[in-house]
Amino acid sequence: MNVLPQRITLDDWDQRYAELCRDGLCEPAYGGCLRRHVDDGDRRLLRLRLDNSAAALRLWNFLLTEEDRLRQSQAAGKRLVGTLKDLGTVPVLAYAFDNLVAFFSLCCAQHNFNYVAKTVMWRPLSTCPFLNSLARWNAT
């Protein structure tokens, strides 16, 4: 079904998601209805007008599940490598190894930290909860 591009509310997305599913939407493992992110406590989506395309659905789900996907990677025994201002070389090198997952974090870019190359672990010099939890994930 061809639908004209529109900016819609989250309530409209509930109906749009049902339409996409009826039409045979193929989703990645992190896919699903956008409403679930609000149900999990992310209130930002309630204030936004969202594109009604399946591509926008995939993008929002990809962005809003990053922490979950990083935790799954760590639970599977992979090391997390935070990249700063680098969306090229470092992620490509990390992707070459089965046991590394690279990600870009704006939170990391705003803080100072020491990188200990031997253990692929960030040692935060701030009290950023994200960086501290990342250090705990990589310490195992």
Domain of residue 114 covers 71-138
**First CA to last CA across the chain, in angstroms?**
48
Average pLDDT taken over every residue of the chain: 77
Region for 77 from its dihedrals, namely left if φ exceeds 0, alpha if ψ lies in -120 to 50, beta otherwise: left
Q: What confidence score (pLDDT) does residue 123 get? A: 40
Q: Which of 97-101, 102-106, 110-114, 128-132 has the largest mean confidence?
A: 97-101
Instruction: Provide the domain count of the chain.
Output: 2
| Residue in this structure with the two tokens 């704006």, named with its chain if needed | 106
- Same domain, yes or no, for 37 and 90? no
- Same domain, yes or no, for 121 and 93? yes
Asked if residues 132 and 82 have their Cβ atoms less than 8 Å apart, the reply is: no
- Same domain, yes or no, for 90 and 50? no
- Same domain, yes or no, for 13 and 38? yes
Query: Is the model's pLDDT at 132 over the cut of 70?
Result: no
In sequence order, the 6+-apart residues with CB closer than 8 A to the CB of 61 are 27, 28, 30, 31, 32, 34
